[in-house]
């Protein structure tokens, strides 16, 4: 028997507020802008909104460095407008999820400024302060994922503090029970206000190995990760949060599990007594054109993509629930990566069908629904994202020539996903009446919401129909998963089956013609073609030859 649940049936729209819609005319996206777009969001057919951090933050990492967990960044509004957005979403039948960033705070959070006052301070132990190894060597050899080493020296106390991300993001010491009480208090604050759950940022990093040991081998980057990724007490802490807070609310949690296998993820999300999260954000399928991070590029490999997707689909079947996504604020735009900028609408629809009809809860990132593309800025200084700059530095240190390093930074930059949302063909893409805080992709005159609203065949309207279809056909939600043509380098084909219904999804990842023959036992003519990205779709001898990035979905 399938364990049905609302979070399995929903789909979610992610908002990175700074670039969504400027409602107060200062060039920065905000909650007034979101309020004005709630009907649009609802019209997509989603059931929930995940907000990337809305809290006050010095923006060293655009909101993922929080200086106050119980308030709203003044750029975005205040708690009053947030409550209006929350109410407006609820009135329209959409839930609201906050980003919960508890692995680290900002160094401007009062806990840290107190902690920095010295060893006797009651907040000292909220963070990891340690003596160095000798005069100039940090306590261990871990790397920061954003800049150089993971430790920053404090002259006044002659101690170092740990920061897995930037030095403006000191890691919280979750082993301290007072810190865990603070986390629970923050959770209750938002849940009591009516928020419906959390996306938990790098949640698998919150417990560090006892003694913070040095790694035996120094790597070019990310040294030490094995001592904090999936650490010793992480599940115990998450279970505690669940027992003391989450279990009292009808809420949902999705964790971010960086570079994690499905088996490891199941340790958190396996349904049953031990489950501590509802879903885990996987990364494997986001590495079909890169290694580890978007920055270390490789040619796109459909085989890699299929292997990753199928591994998660198969491993989680009947045991846990998948979080489905192709874009978020941390990855370049997917058409530019896995599809084709030459065939943006065809490949955009193909990619959408390819993942929306998998088993799991789909997340759609702002702009993805209209096929926003990467936008490469001419100089490194034009970028805002700290990781982009760091990656460039690493590349230069490894001897990569300037031009190539810049190109890698451009292609891999998270800023590709952070350009302002393209609402219309008017100035600034309709995002703001004044100059936006960040470069708008100049293609806004052709790629925008307004023009796609009018076109029944637009990518935007495809997303709407696909989400509606998902809602109305349980086979998409609860069906099993079976991949076909695993060895194909061009086609991704899978079927889903549920209570006598079958869905067959065929996606071509190439502009070249490829012959597709229906798998044994499936007669295409006996099914109904429910989606496609070309008009007039013939079937010849129970198959067809694909057109560029062709996609077809059949229901039997
Ligand atoms: C993951 C977030 O998605 C990313 O944007 C952020 O930089 C890191 N965690 C650190 O919080």
pTM for the whole structure: 0.98
Angle, CA of 130, 136 and 137, to the nearest 5°: 60
201 within ligand 1 shell (Cβ under 6 A): yes
CA-103 nearest atom, ligand 1: 11
Mean pLDDT by 10 residues, the chain (556 residues): 92 99 98 99 98 98 98 98 99 98 98 98 98 92 94 97 98 98 99 98 98 93 94 98 98 93 98 97 96 87 98 98 98 98 98 98 99 98 96 91 95 97 98 98 98 98 98 98 98 98 98 98 97 95 98 98
Residues taking part in catalysis: 201, 256
62 within ligand 1 shell (Cβ under 6 A): no
- What secondary structure does DSSP assign to 193-217, as a single string? HT--EEEETTGGGSSPPTT-PPPSS
C-alpha span between 215 and 150 (Å, rounded): 13
CA-165 nearest atom, ligand 1: 10
Q: Which residues are CB-contacts of 108 (< 8 A; sequence separation ≥ 6)?
A: 58, 65, 67, 168
pLDDT at position 436: 98
534 Cα to the center of ligand 1, angstroms: 38
Half-sphere exposure of 225 (CA within 13 A, CB side): 16
For a substitution probing ligand 1, which of 15, 146, 201 has the most ligand atoms within 8 Å of its CB? 201
Angle, CA of 346, 470 and 496, to the nearest 5°: 85
For a substitution probing ligand 1, which of 330, 365, 389 has the most ligand atoms within 8 Å of its CB? 330
546 Cα to the center of ligand 1, angstroms: 39
pLDDT at position 267: 98
CA-386 nearest atom, ligand 1: 7
101 within ligand 1 shell (Cβ under 6 A): yes
406 Cα to the center of ligand 1, angstroms: 22
CA-61 nearest atom, ligand 1: 7
548 Cα to the center of ligand 1, angstroms: 35
Q: Whose CA is nearest to atom 6 of ligand 1?
A: 64
pLDDT at position 134: 83
Is 472 in a helix, a strand, or coil?
helix
61 within ligand 1 shell (Cβ under 6 A): yes
Rg (the chain; Cα; Å):
23
201 Cα to the center of ligand 1, angstroms: 6
52 Cα to the center of ligand 1, angstroms: 10
Q: Can you give 497-538 as a three-state secondary structure string?
A: EECCEEEEEEEECCCCCCEEECCCCCCHHHCEEEEECCCCCC
365 within ligand 1 shell (Cβ under 6 A): no
202 within ligand 1 shell (Cβ under 6 A): yes
C-alpha span between 334 and 449 (Å, rounded): 18
Strand partners, 495: 482, 504
64 within ligand 1 shell (Cβ under 6 A): yes
512 Cα to the center of ligand 1, angstroms: 37
CA-52 nearest atom, ligand 1: 3
313 Cα to the center of ligand 1, angstroms: 25
Q: Whose CA is nearest to atom 11 of ligand 1?
A: 64
330 Cα to the center of ligand 1, angstroms: 7
165 within ligand 1 shell (Cβ under 6 A): yes
CA-64 nearest atom, ligand 1: 11
CA-104 nearest atom, ligand 1: 11
Q: Whose CA is nearest to atom 8 of ligand 1?
A: 64
Q: What is the DSSP-derived secondary structure letter of residue 546?
A: P
C-alpha span between 377 and 136 (Å, rounded): 38
> Is the C-alpha dihedral spanning 32, 33, 36, 38 positive or negative?
negative
Q: Whose CA is nearest to atom 5 of ligand 1?
A: 330
């Amino acid at each position: 028997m399938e364990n049905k649940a609302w979070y399995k049936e929903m789909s979610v729209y992610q908002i990175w507020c700074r670039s969504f819609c400027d409602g107060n005319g200062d060039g920065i996206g905000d909650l007034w802008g979101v309020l004005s777009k709630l009907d649009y969001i609802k019209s997509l057919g989603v059931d929930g909104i995940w907000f990337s951090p809305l809290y006050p933050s010095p923006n060293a990492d655009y909101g993922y460095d929080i200086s106050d967990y119980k308030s709203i960044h003044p750029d975005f509004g205040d708690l009053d407008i947030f409550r209006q957005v929350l109410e407006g979403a609820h009135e329209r039948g959409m839930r609201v999820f906050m980003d919960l960033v508890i692995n680290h705070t900002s160094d401007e959070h009062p806990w840290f400024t107190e902690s920095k006052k010295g060893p006797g301070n009651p907040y000292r132990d909220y963070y990891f302060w340690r003596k160095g190894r000798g005069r100039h060597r940090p306590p261990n050899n871990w790397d920061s994922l954003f800049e150089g080493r993971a430790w920053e020296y404090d002259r006044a106390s002659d101690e170092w503090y740990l920061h897995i991300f930037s030095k403006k993001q000191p890691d919280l010491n979750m082993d301290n029970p007072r810190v865990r009480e603070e986390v629970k208090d923050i959770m209750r604050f938002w849940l009591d206000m009516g928020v419906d759950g959390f996306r938990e940022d790098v949640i698998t990093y919150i417990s560090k190995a006892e003694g913070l040991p040095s790694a035996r081998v120094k790597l070019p980057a990310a040294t030490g990760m094995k001592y904090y990724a999936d650490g010793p007490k992480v599940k115990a802490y998450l279970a505690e949060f669940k027992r003391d807070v989450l279990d009292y609310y009808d809420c949902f949690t999705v964790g971010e599990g960086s570079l994690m296998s499905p088996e490891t993820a199941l340790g958190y999300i396996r349904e049953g007594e031990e489950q501590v999260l509802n879903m885990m954000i996987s990364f494997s399928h986001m590495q079909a054109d890169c290694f580890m991070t978007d920055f270390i590029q490789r040619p796109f490999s459909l085989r890699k993509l299929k292997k990753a997707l199928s591994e998660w689909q198969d491993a989680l079947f009947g045991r846990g629930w998948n979080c489905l996504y192709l874009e978020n604020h941390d990855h370049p735009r997917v058409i530019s990566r896995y599809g084709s900028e030459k065939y943006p609408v065809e490949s955009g629809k193909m990619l959408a069908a390819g993942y929306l009809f998998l088993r799991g809860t789909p997340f759609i990132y702002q702009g993805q629904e209209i096929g926003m593309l990467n936008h490469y800025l001419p100089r490194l200084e034009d970028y805002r994202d700290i990781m982009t700059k760091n990656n460039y530095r690493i590349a230069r240190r490894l001897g990569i020539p300037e031009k190539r390093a810049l190109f890698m930074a451009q292609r891999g930059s998270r800023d590709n996903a952070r350009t302002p949302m393209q609402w219309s063909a008017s100035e600034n893409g309709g995002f703001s009446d004044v100059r936006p805080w960040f470069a708008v992709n100049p293609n806004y005159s052709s790629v925008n919401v307004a023009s796609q609203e009018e076109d029944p065949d637009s990518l935007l309207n495809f997303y709407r129909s696909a989400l509606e279809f998902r809602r109305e056909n349980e086979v998409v939600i609860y069906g099993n998963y079976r991949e076909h043509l695993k060895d194909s380098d061009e086609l991704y084909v899978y079927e889903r089956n549920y209570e006598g219904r079958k869905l067959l999804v065929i996606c071509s990842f190439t502009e070249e013609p490829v012959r597709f023959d229906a798998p044994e036992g499936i007669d295409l003519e006996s099914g109904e073609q429910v989606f496609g990205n070309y008009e007039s779709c013939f079937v010849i001898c129970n198959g067809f030859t694909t057109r560029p990035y062709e996609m077809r979905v059949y229901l039997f």
